[in-house]
A and B are shown apart, each in its own frame.
Chain A
Amino acid sequence: MMPASATARPFTTKKEFYAQFKKKSIAYELWLRFLKNKTAVIGLVIFGSIVVVAIIAPWITDYKNVVIKMNIAERLQPPGSNHWLGTDELGRDILARIIYGARVSLVIGISAIAVSLLIGLVLGGAAGYYGGRIDSIIMRAMDVFLSLPDVLLALAIIAAFGNTKVNLTIAIGLAFSPKFSRVVRSAVMGVRDNEYIEAARSIGALDWRIIARHVLPNCIGPIIVQVTLYVANAILTIAALSFIGLGIQPPTPEWGNMLASGRTFMRDFPHIVMAPGLAIFFTILALNLLGDGLRDTLDPRLKH
């Protein structure tokens, strides 16, 4: 976090003045600025490790024989040398299930946000770029969806179509798309009236080309930040839906349903709800840290 005082001075130094014009290595400069933000780097490291673990999960543990196979003889064992995080009510190794749970959460979380990003880019982009009638029609429609909490919207969709992984992804993706449309819209509106857009239009560039080549690249910053924060939100939503029994169904390991099924036994075996909860918490925390850090890096004027 930058100290509040850094901007509170009545002048621009020459260094800062000229720094605006240096174009040579913007990506590198941004990377350096990002690295200065220690909490953001911590977020990146945590999230990166979770992703790596999720990818190499099949080499760490065996899905069929360890993750979903019941083993009544070893049920509800506390953490120890055999099972680092203990076993659950059906004798399965909690660590192995957490690792495979990461796969489920990450895949659904990221693809759900990809869905809402796609919808958001199309609807928000059109609304922001064309403005006027198109804007007000699209945004009115989005306001209707925004009046229902996203978890409830996802619930309604799941209630209708059932809770397969694909449906969950689509449900969450749809539920978050109104918010994305708004983000994209305001980002596009921010760059729409710049002169380089005008210039592109004056040489006869097509609308879609202007949007793809000139508008979107210039509003990528706020979109990346929102993607990071909403992946966190999506992962949390999957866990929440699974927790109330409407998301991923056992025996497929998912952090939320691990909490739900462990709940009954937590009075005597609290370890059973510790690991899945911590897994969700650290994933969300990492993405929040990363998102806040990216926001500070990409737009230093906006501090939150």
Chain B
Amino acid sequence: MGRYIIRRLFALIPVILVLTFIVFTILHLTPGDATTIILGSDYTPELGAKLKVQLGLDRSLPVQYFHYLANLMHGDFGMSYVTRAPVLDQLGVRLPNTAWIVVSAMVLCVSLGIPIGIRAATKPNSVFSQFAMVFGLMGVSMPIFWLGLLLILFFSVRLGWLPSSGLDQGLKSLILPSITLGFNYMANIMRTTRSSMMESIRQDFIRTARAKGVSEHDVIYDHALGNALMPTITIIGMNVGTLLGGVVLTETVFSIPGMGRLLVEAINQRDTPCVLGTLVVMAICVAVSNLIVDLIYAYMDPRIRAQFGAKVRKA
């Protein structure tokens, strides 16, 4: 298993290379000029030229890219054009805020989505199941930025229970953003769990288990669930990226100074190093979470474990 992880981590390198190359090239085709951003609209040509040399912008694009990569290896994301501070410092400040919302949204979704999905699948004709289906459909159709506004209107403006912006009130200020961010995600997990569970219950091996005299509870939670969770885990992994996309919106709605806001601000200010840095970090996050999902998958399914060449026999 260890070798597999190392192999997967190495496979990340080309992904990051290509990604940075594309983003780097795109962003350097930008009509806006770094010198104008930093120095304002009127500056002497000498000053501009000096700054260009200082930033390395006088060199050709491939050279610039190579330098960027070389610095990236050392954890140097470059200097922000706007704040003149290292991008890494900004990322360091913003990342924890984003991590808080993402993690709490994920916990919320998994801990609600999966149980609701299971229950809806085992009692397919119940009122609960019908309700879950309607809820699920609404969930995947809901624009989360609008949901965020509605939650603010109700819980902050009308009831005054929860703060409408920032993260400075601890857990309390995390509730609305994580519901907002996780709503689509939860509906997705719920729907997937429900359908894969229904599929799983129909399988022949479930009949074998029942014929053995396994109790209905164990049939569902031991035999069916283990198999049904595979598609759910896939969905969880596939949507981590979508969740990070949603971060941009959630942070906008709740005015949270996180990575998403940083990206939008950087785009608006044409702060190329900052845009690039944020995107790279987000891509790494997505890649790492996909890796984690694949590992969980491999842990749960012996057929996939076998493909990894890991030892299949349990101790």
Contacts and interface: CB of A to CB of B under 8 A. Distances in A.
Given A159-B30, A245-B268, A266-B153, A284 B248 contact: no
B55 interface: no
Contacts of A159: 26-27, 30, 267, 275
A21 to B, nearest CB: 27
Given A243-B252, A281-B142, A156 B23 contact: yes
Nearest to B202: A8
B248 A244 contact: yes
B264 A259 contact: no
B26 A160 contact: yes
Interface residue range, chain A:
35 or more
A289 B137 contact: yes
Interface string B126-158: 000000010001101111011001101100010
Contact of B149 (A143, A149, A273): A273
Interface in B239-292: 241-246, 248-249, 252, 263-264, 267-268, 275, 279, 282-283, 286-287, 290
B150 A277 contact: yes
A288 B153 CA distance: 27
Contacts of A147: 15, 19, 241, 283, 286-287, 290
Contact of A152 (B141, B146, B279): B279
B159 interface: no
B287 A246 contact: no
A195 B195 CA distance: 32
A285 interface: yes
Contact of B143 (A155, A160, A267, A281): A281
A119 interface: no
B202 A149 contact: no
B29 interface: yes
Contacts of B157: 266-267
A4 B264 contact: no
Q: Is the interface of B mostly helix, strand, loop or mixed?
A: helix
A93 interface: no
Contacts of A232: 141
B209 to A, nearest CB: 16
Contacts of A266: 149, 152-153, 157
Nearest to A229: B140
B248 to A, nearest CB: 6
A279 B252 CA distance: 21
B267 A259 contact: no
Interface string A217-256: 0000000000000001000100110011110000000001
B275 A151 contact: no
B279 A280 contact: no
Contact of B245 (A8, A150, A157, A304): A150
Contact of A288 (B137, B242, B252): B137
Residue among A236, A243, A256 with most chain B CB within 10 A? A243
Contact of B202 (A7, A244, A245, A267): A7
Interface residues of B, number: 53
A151 B286 CA distance: 13
A263 interface: yes
Given A148-B241, A150-B245, A266-B153, A3 B124 contact: yes
Nearest to A277: B146
B286 A148 contact: yes
A8 B206 CA distance: 13
Contacts of B199: 303
Contact of B153 (A143, A152, A259, A270): A270
A240 B141 contact: no
Contacts of A183: none
A73 interface: no
B143 A236 contact: yes
Interface string A101-116: 0000000000000000
A26 interface: no
Contacts of B242: 149-151
B224 to A, nearest CB: 13
A153 B246 CA distance: 13
B202 A151 contact: no
Interface of B: 14-15, 18-19, 22-23, 26-27, 29-31, 124-125, 133, 137-138, 140-143, 145-146, 149-150, 152-153, 157, 191, 195, 198-199, 201-202, 241-246, 248-249, 252, 263-264, 267-268, 275, 279, 282-283, 286-287, 290
22 contacts: A1-B133, A7-B202, A8-B202, A147-B290, A148-B19, A148-B279, A149-B241, A152-B282, A155-B264, A159-B27, A159-B267, A160-B27, A161-B29, A161-B30, A244-B248, A244-B249, A263-B149, A273-B149, A273-B150, A276-B146, A281-B143, A285-B137
Ranked 10 nearest A-B pairs via Cβ: A151-B245, A277-B146, A149-B241, A149-B245, A285-B141, A160-B26, A284-B141, A159-B267, A144-B18, A280-B143
Interface of A: 1, 3-4, 7-8, 141, 143-144, 146-152, 155-162, 232, 236, 239-240, 243-246, 256, 259, 263, 266-267, 270, 273, 276-277, 280-281, 284-285, 288-289, 303-304
Given A151-B248, A152-B248, 9 more contacts: A159-B26, A160-B27, A240-B143, A243-B145, A245-B268, A266-B152, A277-B150, A288-B141, A289-B137
